[in-house]
Amino acid sequence: MPEERTVRVDDDTVGAVLNRLRRAQGQLSGVIAMIEAGRDCRDIVTQLAAASRALDRAGFKIVASGMRQCTAADGGTPPMSETELEKLFLALA
């Protein structure tokens, strides 16, 4: 059975993730209201895409924070910063 590894997310990262999730929550509420109001399809899709990006960025932030912790435990080269790791993940999107 593989060893489980716990990743702890620091307070600054938690705050940034929560802000992005709250932004996505507000955008999703906006999408729902727009659909109910019969708004233009382009406006709805634009708002939905913004919510999707906010969720993606929250996920990338969590993954980047976890990866930073994992790489910091390595005795090799200096660990990458969280921002550098996040940019790498965003480049894949």
Q: Which amino acid is at 23?
A: R
Two tokens, residue 49: 């895409």
| Residue range 6-26, pLDDT digits in tens | 556 778 888 888 998 999 999
Domain 11-92 has CATH 1.20.58.1000: yes
Of 58, 82, 67, nearest in space to 7 by CA: 67
What is the pLDDT, as a whole number, of residue 30? Answer: 94
Of 26, 27, 85, 79, nearest in space to 60 by CA: 85
Q: Is 1 helix (H, G, I), strand (E, B) or coil?
A: coil
Domain ranges of the chain: 11-92
Ramachandran bin of 16, using left for φ above 0, alpha for ψ from -120 to 50, beta for the remaining angles: alpha
User: With a threshold of 0.85, does the pTM exceed it?
Assistant: no
